[in-house]
Structure 1
Amino acid sequence: MSTQQPDPQAGAAVKAADRAHVFHSWSAQGLVDPLAVAGAEGSYFWDYDGNRYLDFSSQLVNTNIGHQHPKVVAAVQEQAARLCTIAPGFAVDVRSEAARLIAERTPGDLDKVFFTNGGAEAVENAVRMARLHTGRTKVLSAYRSYHGATAAAINLTGDPRRWPSDTASAGVVHFWGPYLYRSHFHATTEEQECERALAHLEEVVAFEGPQTVAAIILETIVGTAGILVPPAGYLAGVREICDRYGIVFVLDEVMAGFGRTGEWFAADHWRVTPDLLTFAKGVNSGYVPLGGVAISAEIAATFDRRPYPGGLTYSGHPLACASAVATINAMAEEGIVENAARIGESVLGPGLRELAERHPSVGEVRGLGVFWALELVKDRVTREPLVPYNASGEAAAPMGAFAAACKKAGLWPFVNMNRTHVVPPCTVTEAEAKEGLAALDEALTVADRYTV
């Protein structure tokens, strides 16, 4: 693995320039202290001080193919030499090929692709398509969800990042999805949780007026809000509700798609086909911004003679599409989706469950492929979270201490509220996964100090 010699002076200059001019997302600008990154390769990245980190966050759960994959880097370079950019209205080989490769892997008849620059824009356009297709306005989404930070997407989002921007006028209605560990429905089994969650959703539809509901949008596996794997039968039940009332079913696969769960799309685990499927992140591991909506034949036909009122200057950008083509082909040729499934089944799943047996701070382990969460608690019996919901400042100190311990052990974690998400690249090796588990083992001893 190529790393450069430590150069703290260069790192200090990078950080100083950042603090002088860069406005960071989701941050109090005077308190943010970003790590100056010097480089990355595979499952690792490193700073200017010579510290190397095993990336168990995949950055923002998007570097599915790892950092600096040579085939993807080469594809971007080759495309840049041939055609850097062209407007969306032209037919371009690399854009058509990216769409074909995506459509080849999406479930059912989702054979048309509208390209965006990322996941939030994909959600925005999926909602617009659903509303225009149905002539209805309301969209239902789960409280435990994240769909993006643009106008409609942030209103659809259920987690607290919605609160400062919630206009309460975007035609969005939230409902409770299944989450047995903290069941809203007083369920004690997966079957009960599924049955009661579906009954709740159908009741929300009934009380809102089915004729007013354009779409139900779900993350196939809830990502940032907890890596919540739906119980068997739930997604099929939502599909049936949508079919019965003429509601468009949208699956958000921005985080779960392209190998993350050990299948090309998480929907493949339950053999459910939505009407619209949003994607981004893993489609090209974020090497160049890209997202999109995969569209069913019926909804695509709505716009055969009726113009679709939406577009982006960089829709299907050639550099982004080239990186997607190279990513999808490399994933297929190198068995990367299969690797994610194998690592999850044989290393991460068993390893995390073994950690849970030894650490009282671990309340639950859940996940698939390379998409896992440890829910950290103060008390296993009461299931009191290690930190309160949406905690900040001193109240969030236990999770801060845990995260610091991870980094000290050479592991970069993905921490959200009272959870740590175990989300390495889909290319992670067995040795790297075990290295990460060892670092987590060490850091969990810090979390254990805050248990009762």
Structure 2
Amino acid sequence: MTPHAPHAPYADPAAGAAVKAADRAHVFHSWSAQGLIDPLAVAGAEGAYFWDYDGNRYLDFTSGLVYTNIGYQHPTVVAAIQEQAGKLATFAPAFAIEARSEAARLIAERTPGDLDKIFFTNGGAEAVENAIRMARLHTGRPKVLSAYRSYHGATSTAINLTGDPRRWPSDNGSAGVVHFWAPFLYRSPFYAETEAEECARALQHLEDTIAFEGPAAVAAIILETVPGTAGIMTPPPGYLAGVREICDRYGIVFVLDEVMAGFGRTGAWFAADHFDVVPDLLTFAKGVNSGYVPLGGVAISAEIAATFETRPYPGGLTYSGHPLACAAAVATIGVMEDEKVVENAARIGETVLGPGLRELAERHPSVGEVRGLGAFWALELVRNRETREPLVPYNASGEANAPMAAFGAAAKKRGLWPFINMNRTHAVPACNVTEAEAKEGLAALDIALAVADEHTV
């Protein structure tokens, strides 16, 4: 479990001001209008908490960007990185080194089915890029199908696969990507009233999309097993199995993106384990080593690996399987096993987060739906429960986003750092969060939701 909640050290506002000044002078931040942001200067972090230079401590209900699955500064992983740095800090990817080999072995042991070959990248977007390249080369086909309400990364192919507004400025329309609607009963595009209807109609829609795009032109279908940033929409029973059957029938490569959902986040090593489905390719990153050193990768089926047995795979990265990152992965997987982190995520989701969030929904009219599993939950915030009108418009900014901004400010005032995306807040703490920490977060959410309630009708 995480260490006892640390106290923020003594305040040092002058040091914080210097950090902020250097940031504002020289750091170019992602996804931001540079002159409109005010990044918090962080002084330190431990377990499920971080703190600023003014002595304010926050319970992190974002896990960074949903990657610190074992929390911050776990001493075992920090020591492993230090030890690896003293032994072999870096080495080129064409060689066999102990940390890389062991990390690949441990990951392959936990991936579903025969996904026993591991191609290492530096993060999730590069994992998606290479998975799609493998699928296209394996099939000799150009097109890839991906869902609206998805996020697959910000590199060239990955951003075109993405199904949310972050794609729009970079959507060049020439990447061979076709989007379709995946199931989401609360906001069903299929006018379904039950999960069974949503599943059946979503699968029919996917079949129709393939038919009109030309089955012989489709290389791959990529799905987040449980979509993350887009809203944590757990697929209905039978959906992923249905997609697997469609892929088998048309010779399409099935890619599951587990960059966010993998490595314990859903209360299983991989979210695919909940659905008894084995993809042809599985992408991972984030939780593989809790982001202590950047690492991602693709787990590859035997059939696709065989394609490149005598044919060179035309892709690679200078830092593929970096020793420090791989050592961190080995240590992280060991910690997750020894401390039963995956089991803790499942238990906390079932006994604390799930029931607690549903209880909040009963009392707060701003909560339209609660959904999730493990340490992976979303609250859909609405202006009106009957009409399901979102609390703020789709992709809102500025004044239109004021209700969510007010909610976020209220949470931070109570010492909770919330995950906010559009009209949702996600409860995604470290997978080794304690029961007391989870309840602390729920109590802060309770107060912040009262602010959101003020904007309901």
Structure 1 length as normaliser, TM-score?
1.00
Q: SS of the counterpart of 2:126?
A: helix
Could you say which residue in structure 1 is the equivalent of 2:33? Answer: 28
Shift of 1:3: 3.5
- Residue 185 of structure 2 is aligned with which of 180, 196, 213? 180
Contact 2:124 2:285 in 1 (8 A): yes
Could you say which residue in structure 2 is the equivalent of 1:3? Answer: 8
- Residue 204 of structure 1 is aligned with which of 180, 203, 209? 209
Gapped regions of structure 2 (runs ≥ 5):
1-5
Shift of 1:5: 1.1
Q: SS of the counterpart of 1:77?
A: helix
- Residue 141 of structure 1 is aligned with which of 130, 139, 146? 146
Q: How does 1:26-425 map to 2 (within 5 A)?
A: 26-425=31-430
Q: Determine the C-alpha separation between the residues in 1 that align with 2:409 and 2:64.
A: 17
Q: SS of the counterpart of 2:36?
A: coil
Q: Determine the C-alpha separation between the residues in 2 that align with 1:62 and 1:406.
A: 21
Deviations 1:157-190 (A, max 9, x none): 0000000000100000000000000000000000
Contact 1:339 1:427 in 2 (8 A): yes
Contact 1:402 1:444 in 2 (8 A): yes
Q: Determine the C-alpha separation between the residues in 2 that align with 1:340 and 1:325.
A: 20
Identity of matched residues, %:
82
Q: Determine the C-alpha separation between the residues in 1 that align with 2:432 and 2:188.
A: 34
Contact 1:2 1:41 in 2 (8 A): no
Contact 2:81 2:328 in 1 (8 A): yes
Deviations 1:88-144 (A, max 9, x none): 000001100000000000000000000000000000000000000000000000011
Shift of 1:427: 0.8
Could you say which residue in structure 1 is the equivalent of 2:22? Answer: 17
Contact 1:137 1:213 in 2 (8 A): yes
Contact 1:125 1:293 in 2 (8 A): yes
Q: SS of the counterpart of 1:89?
A: coil
Q: Determine the C-alpha separation between the residues in 2 that align with 1:300 and 1:3.
A: 49
Q: Determine whether 1:427 maps to 2:432.
A: yes
CA RMSD between the two structures: 0.4
Deviations 1:196-243 (A, max 9, x none): 000000000010000000000000001000001000000000000000
Match of 2:351, as an amino acid? S
Match of 2:99, as an amino acid? V
Shift of 1:4: 2.0
Contact 1:76 1:322 in 2 (8 A): yes
Q: Determine the C-alpha separation between the residues in 2 that align with 1:438 and 1:107.
A: 37
Shift of 1:54: 0.1
Q: SS of the counterpart of 1:140?
A: strand
Q: Determine the C-alpha separation between the residues in 2 that align with 1:391 and 1:61.
A: 22
Q: Determine the C-alpha separation between the residues in 2 that align with 1:406 and 1:57.
A: 12
Structure 2 length as normaliser, TM-score?
0.99
Q: SS of the counterpart of 2:149?
A: coil
Q: Determine the C-alpha separation between the residues in 2 that align with 1:59 and 1:219.
A: 19
Q: SS of the counterpart of 1:38?
A: strand
Q: Determine the C-alpha separation between the residues in 2 that align with 1:334 and 1:61.
A: 19
Q: Determine the C-alpha separation between the residues in 2 that align with 1:333 and 1:5.
A: 34
Deviations 1:409-441 (A, max 9, x none): 000000000000000000100000000000000
- Residue 443 of structure 1 is aligned with which of 448, 454, 457? 448
Q: Determine the C-alpha separation between the residues in 1 that align with 2:455 and 2:7.
A: 39
Match of 1:236, as an amino acid? A
Q: SS of the counterpart of 1:30?
A: helix
Match of 2:389, as an amino acid? E
Q: Determine the C-alpha separation between the residues in 2 that align with 1:180 and 1:230.
A: 9
| Runs of 4+ more than 3 Å apart | none
Shift of 1:2: 5.6
Shift of 1:353: 0.2
Q: SS of the counterpart of 2:10?
A: coil
Match of 1:330, as an amino acid? V
Q: Determine the C-alpha separation between the residues in 2 that align with 1:355 and 1:223.
A: 21
Q: Determine the C-alpha separation between the residues in 1 that align with 2:9 and 2:49.
A: 13
Q: SS of the counterpart of 1:293?
A: strand
Match of 1:392, as an amino acid? S
